[in-house]
Structure 1
Amino acid sequence: MSSNPSYRLTPVTQLANKSIFDSLSTTQKLYAHHMSLAAWYGARIVLRQNSAEALGIFEFIMKLHNASGGKWRELVKQGVTSEDVDAFLEYSGQFLSSLGNYFEIGNKKAVPALSMSALRKMAQISPDVTEALDSIIGPMFSIPPEGLGYPSERLSSNYYLGEPRITKEEISSVAKIMERNMLEPENTRIHKSIRRRKTVFEILQASADQVEHIKELDSGDPSWSVVLSRGDHALELAQVCSQLEISIKYAENKKQREVISYYIRSFRSGSLEAYRKSQKAWVTDIAPMVETNFGFVEPYKDPAGVRGEWQGIVSISNKEESAKMQALVEKADKLIRTLPWVTEDENDGNGPFEATRCSYPDFSVVYSLAYVSSTHWEAQNLPNASSKNTLWVNRMSANKDPDRPCSYVHPDERKTFRSCNHIVRFIVTALHELLGHGTGKLLSETSQGEYNFNRENPPINPLTGRPIETWYGVGQTWTSVFGEIAPSADECRAMLVSYYLVENIEILSVFGYHDTSEPKAGDVVYYAYLHIGVEGLLAMAAFNTDTKVWGSPHAQANFAILKHVLEDGNKFMVVDHNSATGNIYIRVDRHRIVSDGKSALGPMLMRLHIYRCTADVAACKEWYESLSAVDGIYEKWRNMVVENPEPKWKFIQGNTFLGDKGEVELKIYDSSNEGIIKSFAERNLVNLLQL
């Protein structure tokens, strides 16, 4: 076995959904089947976005599986050990589950835990497999690059391509030109090249239609130019659109057909205006039995925080659980008025930093059927306005696993923490999506000379006591203004909303917890605050102490909250650590949660919210980056966390197939690395040209 000390066998979690799939009607199953195919045809886009070598690694794994007939144990006949086979299966299972090779904590690069020579011996099973390995074995094993980030000697990003290496400053300059030309970045990548002694930045827009250099954007500098081309991910998007066109025949209603039509228009042409129309129609399709969402959505893998990773999601609604969530939605107005920035003197009692709402978004509890993304989130709030909230119950149920470690809770409390933590995660996730991402008003100049606030008598900034001095300009968005800190800062704000509200008795009663329930409402609150500490400690593994870069926006947010609470919470939460034993535990004084815990969260939440609403990026960046710096004692704690890593999540998903008589069947695979590989092999994603 080689070399990689991080190798360990991690469990495979089945995303159970068969019983609810079987409850669908024939037409609903056909709709779900073709939408699932559309989602999976986008998997190659995620791989391409992850790294330059990821598609090649994927094809090598598939070819090795096919050449061996899926009989992995027989590869020992190629002159390798059983341990070598296990190591490569573990790598492959995690790679496929993550759709890329940057899947270590904090988006760090993972390398197979066996020697290159052992892998070459496996590949000798056929010339085709050997050729596939030869094309990627170098970048597959090489470190650096060691993680995702702005391209450098140590970090890599496949959103920013070409030679010579593009710089952070150049990325920023191209972004400003795109903003001036009203060209949005979500479905683009940038390629840098030198042509006739001139630097050319080519904006690669995702679309099935391929048109090179359709427009040149004025750079204002004769030494370099910016051009727009369409056709990035063209082959995959053409296949996505072909399945979307079939699925229209089985759509449940006119709204779904409208959504799909806009998807097709957007994915064929690259138009984000068409995509926005799809989302506006999508949010009006209330509580469908088969829920879907597609597009270039989450910006977490882009170091600049603006380019979206492809996701294709098909889910099946749990009507009973969704009905319970509506009770929370109905309380939203009342709950928002308990948040720190809300004042009763204007805007129907919401104050200047909160939107006026006539209705609240749909909140669905669903089972994922096809979830194509590098990360299977527990819940999402999409899009940024007029949104839907979705919570995936089969992903959330994975938190009940009694065998997962619980390293940062004292042994005396581990059993009860484990029994309650999945409840805590469910409640705070629901609050996070509905009232975290669903609150706030961005004060803006909506068009030339028009504002969504009183420009002559601006709102008073509660942080300074003076009228606000900053706001969003025409065409500016939260992500375009706040850039690389936008994803983490917004996740942090949403997390803080959920933690700030978690002790609310009305909220807990919606979920069935009170003084006589099991667990009691007070226990849920206590373990929610213990959860804050545990998540904050776990997060530190995602911080690179050499580059000072966070590999995960969520981890940065979790750590910032922990650090703030420890430093401003009057010691209601403390960290017990013993360097000799390697033990590190969170302790919470349950009697001071409201007096000191919630009181510490409120000011942090207020700051982030006001910075976001007023586009005050300079103040936010200085404060937030300082708060999320892993220094002093925190660096010592980080080393203790890194030495005892949590197992990574690996999920296996089923596939739908059409039977001989046109019926749809759902196939479930073994919960193993071999099962994950087989599930991908049977999706036939390698040779799209042959489909």
Structure 2
Amino acid sequence: MALKEVQVFRLDVKAQFECLSTSEKRYAHHMARIILRQVSPESLAIFDFILELFHVCSGNWDAFIEPGVSTEDLHGFLTYAATFLSNVGNYFGSGDQKFVPIVDASVLRRLATRSPRLLELYKVIELSIYAVPPYSLGYPSEATQSSYYPEGNITKREIGIVSRTLEKNSIFPENTRIRKTGNGDFEVLIASVQSGNSTDTFPLLGAKGSVTLVRGDHSAELKDICAELSDASKYAANDLQRDFLRAYIESFQTGSLDAYRESQRIWVRDRAPKVENIFGFVEPYRDPHGIRSEFEGLVAIANKEETELLNMLVEHSAKFIRRLPWATPENDGKGPFEKSLFEPPDFSSIHSLAYCSSIIFPGINVPNYNDIRQEDGFKSVIIANRMVIEGKAIQYPFIELSLADTFQKHKFPAYYMWVVLHELFGHGTGKMMVEAEEGKRNFDIENPPINPITGNPIASWYKPGQTWTGQFADLSTTVDECRAELVGAYLMDDLELLKLFGFTETSEIRADDVTYNLYQQLGVDGLRGLSNFNVDSGAHFAMLRCLLIDGDGVITVTHNKQAQSLTVQVDRSKIITRGKPALGKMLLQLHMYRCTADAEGCRAYYEALSRVDSEHVEWRQTVLANKPPPLIFVHANTFLDGDAVMLKEYEPSAKGVIESWAERGV
């Protein structure tokens, strides 16, 4: 799609930064100067082209205006450049669709004449920056591409075979890419500073050929990252921070995910740090196979007062877990498909200082390794300076006009609650039925737990070496996010829970107003999902379909094709009696598929529920016609002035986005 306009917001962090000590500022500074660029083959050259232009004009973009480059042309290119940098590539982080400059190719050719380096880079990108197809990220094909599978000559079936071979040999996939060689064998590229072919070669499972491990992918970038992590460790607040930084470095140098997993076990024990971080190959959203992860780096500053409010919910967490659909009298009222002890997580409200990721999430719950989550715990964070933007951004106009102002006023409180519940209970609950090794299980095989849906003992579980992502593959992320969203929505009518956050029947925004707004958001987000239909949006559309099919009119959608309008209406009287049971039924289904490793049953259920029929295709055309400009974000930078660390924030504009990246020095 050709990019026209964007909404630019600054992630304000100055007030939080000034509360840090000198040592904490220095720690944050070194942690924040870390980034890895990955999306498409042309992304690196486009990145360098944008920053070279900035340096050529010293930030005075008007100097490029001349015959052949108008003010409008320059605006169009700056919009593209800022969007590229904010998404860390030329595919939207949300939706994975490719976007291209709205300006004519002659404008870029004209800009490229300003320096020899620009001409060199332009020759690399002149075709690929405009090329459509590919239309989006996905399994390599004529219409889609994925840099997780360079060269694009590999099939979905082959990816599955190689991935199962790695799983069989206890090799984690998160920091890998797969390349098919000319003779039909495969190389697994492992991200590490150390490089070179290893002696590790394995025969393919159930097929001819072999897999060889090759270290050194992203070597130069990881070397720089390790240097900054080493500097950061000098200013760490405690031994735990020094220990997980040491494990980060070992993992990034050697490619060992065992070392990275150890870093996560240590990291979850570093509770309530003033400066929080998330680093590594974390989220598998952009891998079409759902198991290889994008590198991301987040450095953020905790807010004590906001965190205390979240901790009130954590303290009462056990009672709300007992109200989820799978809770039964055994296991202290939580049932067999819930952990015996809900270890209260470190739940913090943080303000992002630097966030390198294709999606700037409003909340995060990590680690993503389920065995670590069950054995060592996890952390949940709410990214407050990202969250608040939801109440300011232009929205889809799918709420009837008479209710639109109230919807906007109530949206942020309801959205905030939804994200909080999503992160704490959505990602923090559930017990996988696991056979860790032959004969060693976390349940009684002689008296297996009863599946509450079928009324029969469970018949499947995770066998030795099997993982959630390995078994559910491309379904794992979308189902996991859908389940987490459902948990949040299911609990959003709980008056005792809402009261903890100040919502009662007498507050300015009443408790039932928050619940009502949440159901409006379920409708709007479900329609919005039709524009992209990726991990999160597919989940939202599936939830909307659940309510349309089983909610007995709790939500209705009216489509005026001629006027290109869609209207979501919620029947407040049916939220508790019809809406909640429908969501609870869907939530229980996904929960049981997940707990019992029933990938086949899950695929049949979820794909049927999220299927787009002819009516939804018509809705999609109207959704696209009303799509608001995408969001992009401006991040702060830190600089050393002697021993002092200085913070610089930038104007919320396309120029501000580019300047912030140029001064980041990556």
Same structural fold, with TM-score higher than 0.5 when normalized by the shorter chain: yes
1:589-628 matched pairs, under 5 angstroms: 589-628=571-610
User: Residues 448 and 209 from structure 1, CA distance in 2 versus in 1: closer, same or farther, beyond 3 angstroms?
Assistant: same
1:357 aligns with one of 341, 356, 359:
341
1:131-170 matched pairs, under 5 angstroms: 131-162=120-151, 165-170=153-158
- Kindly indicate whether residue 236 of structure 2 is the aligned counterpart of residue 251 of structure 1: yes
1:119-198 matched pairs, under 5 angstroms: 119-162=108-151, 165-194=153-182, 198=183
**Aligned residue number for residue 574 of structure 1:** 556
1:43 aligns with one of 19, 36, 48:
36
1:14 aligns with one of 10, 13, 16:
10
RMSD: 1.3
CA contact (8 A) 2:318 2:342 kept: no
**Aligned-pair CA distance for 1:78:** 5.5
2:445 aligns with one of 445, 455, 464:
455
**Aligned residue number for residue 624 of structure 2:** 642
Amino acid across the alignment from 2:120? E
**Aligned-pair CA distance for 1:11:** 2.2
Amino acid across the alignment from 1:253? N
**Aligned-pair CA distance for 1:75:** 1.1
**Aligned residue number for residue 383 of structure 1:** 367
1:169-318 matched pairs, under 5 angstroms: 169-194=157-182, 198-219=183-204, 223-318=208-303
Q: Distance in 2 between matches of 1:220 and 1:577?
A: 50
2:24 aligns with one of 22, 28, 48:
28
Q: Can you list the C-alpha shifts for 1:516-542, whole angstroms capped at 9, x where unaligned?
A: 111111111110111111110111001
Q: Distance in 2 between matches of 1:594 and 1:322?
A: 30
Amino acid across the alignment from 1:294? F
1:46-65 matched pairs, under 5 angstroms: 48=38, 50-65=39-54
Gaps of 5+ in 1: 544-551, 686-691
CA contact (8 A) 2:165 2:205 kept: no
SS of 2:436's equivalent? strand
- Kindly indicate whether residue 95 of structure 2 is the aligned counterpart of residue 111 of structure 1: no
**Aligned-pair CA distance for 1:331:** 1.2
Amino acid across the alignment from 1:371? Y
**Aligned-pair CA distance for 1:157:** 0.2
**Aligned residue number for residue 522 of structure 1:** 512
**Aligned-pair CA distance for 1:173:** 0.5
User: Residues 613 and 95 from structure 1, CA distance in 2 versus in 1: closer, same or farther, beyond 3 angstroms?
Assistant: same
**Aligned residue number for residue 683 of structure 1:** 664
> What is the TM-score normalised by the length of structure 1?
0.94
Amino acid across the alignment from 1:266? S
**Aligned residue number for residue 469 of structure 1:** 459
Amino acid across the alignment from 2:652? S
Gaps of 5+ in 2: none
- Kindly indicate whether residue 638 of structure 2 is the aligned counterpart of residue 656 of structure 1: yes
CA contact (8 A) 1:406 1:414 kept: no
Q: Distance in 2 between matches of 1:313 and 1:105?
A: 18
**Aligned-pair CA distance for 1:221:** 7.3
Q: Distance in 2 between matches of 1:133 and 1:347?
A: 63
**Aligned residue number for residue 689 of structure 1:** none
CA contact (8 A) 1:56 1:136 kept: yes
**Aligned-pair CA distance for 1:261:** 0.7
**Aligned residue number for residue 321 of structure 1:** 306
Amino acid across the alignment from 1:379? G
**Aligned residue number for residue 537 of structure 1:** 527
**Aligned residue number for residue 536 of structure 2:** 554
SS of 1:314's equivalent? strand
Q: Distance in 2 between matches of 1:170 and 1:281?
A: 36
Q: Can you list the C-alpha shifts for 1:92-141, whole angstroms capped at 9, x where unaligned?
A: 01000000101186211111101111210111112221111111111111
Q: Can you list the C-alpha shifts for 1:157-215, whole angstroms capped at 9, x where unaligned?
A: 0001126x100000000011101110110010011111xxx212100011111122431
Q: Distance in 2 between matches of 1:216 and 1:85?
A: 51
**Aligned residue number for residue 397 of structure 1:** 388
Amino acid across the alignment from 2:20? L
- Kindly indicate whether residue 612 of structure 2 is the aligned counterpart of residue 630 of structure 1: yes
CA contact (8 A) 2:29 2:639 kept: yes
Amino acid across the alignment from 2:9? T
SS of 2:84's equivalent? helix
User: Residues 488 and 301 from structure 1, CA distance in 2 versus in 1: closer, same or farther, beyond 3 angstroms?
Assistant: same
Which piece of structure 1 moves more, 101-110 or 149-158? 101-110
Amino acid across the alignment from 1:159? Y
**Aligned-pair CA distance for 1:453:** 0.7
SS of 1:601's equivalent? helix
Amino acid across the alignment from 1:369? L
CA contact (8 A) 2:93 2:359 kept: no
- Kindly indicate whether residue 77 of structure 2 is the aligned counterpart of residue 88 of structure 1: yes
**Aligned residue number for residue 421 of structure 2:** 431
**Aligned-pair CA distance for 1:220:** 5.6
Q: Distance in 1 between matches of 2:81 and 2:467?
A: 38
**Aligned-pair CA distance for 1:84:** 1.0
**Aligned residue number for residue 444 of structure 1:** 434
Amino acid across the alignment from 2:83? Q
CA contact (8 A) 1:162 1:193 kept: no
Q: Distance in 1 between matches of 2:207 and 2:602?
A: 35
Q: Distance in 2 between matches of 1:259 and 1:213?
A: 26
Q: Can you list the C-alpha shifts for 1:396-442, whole angstroms capped at 9, x where unaligned?
A: 010121x6134111111111111110111110100001000101111
Q: Distance in 1 between matches of 2:208 and 2:584?
A: 50
Q: Distance in 1 between matches of 2:395 and 2:518?
A: 18
> What is the TM-score normalised by the length of structure 2?
0.97
SS of 1:77's equivalent? coil
Which piece of structure 1 moves more, 70-79 or 598-607? 70-79
SS of 1:30's equivalent? helix
User: Residues 651 and 482 from structure 1, CA distance in 2 versus in 1: closer, same or farther, beyond 3 angstroms?
Assistant: same
**Aligned-pair CA distance for 1:371:** 0.5
User: Sequence identity, in percent?
Assistant: 44
2:546 aligns with one of 564, 574, 580:
564
**Aligned residue number for residue 546 of structure 1:** none
Q: Distance in 2 between matches of 1:627 and 1:539?
A: 14
1:369 aligns with one of 353, 373, 388:
353
Amino acid across the alignment from 1:608? L
Q: Distance in 1 between matches of 2:113 and 2:205?
A: 54
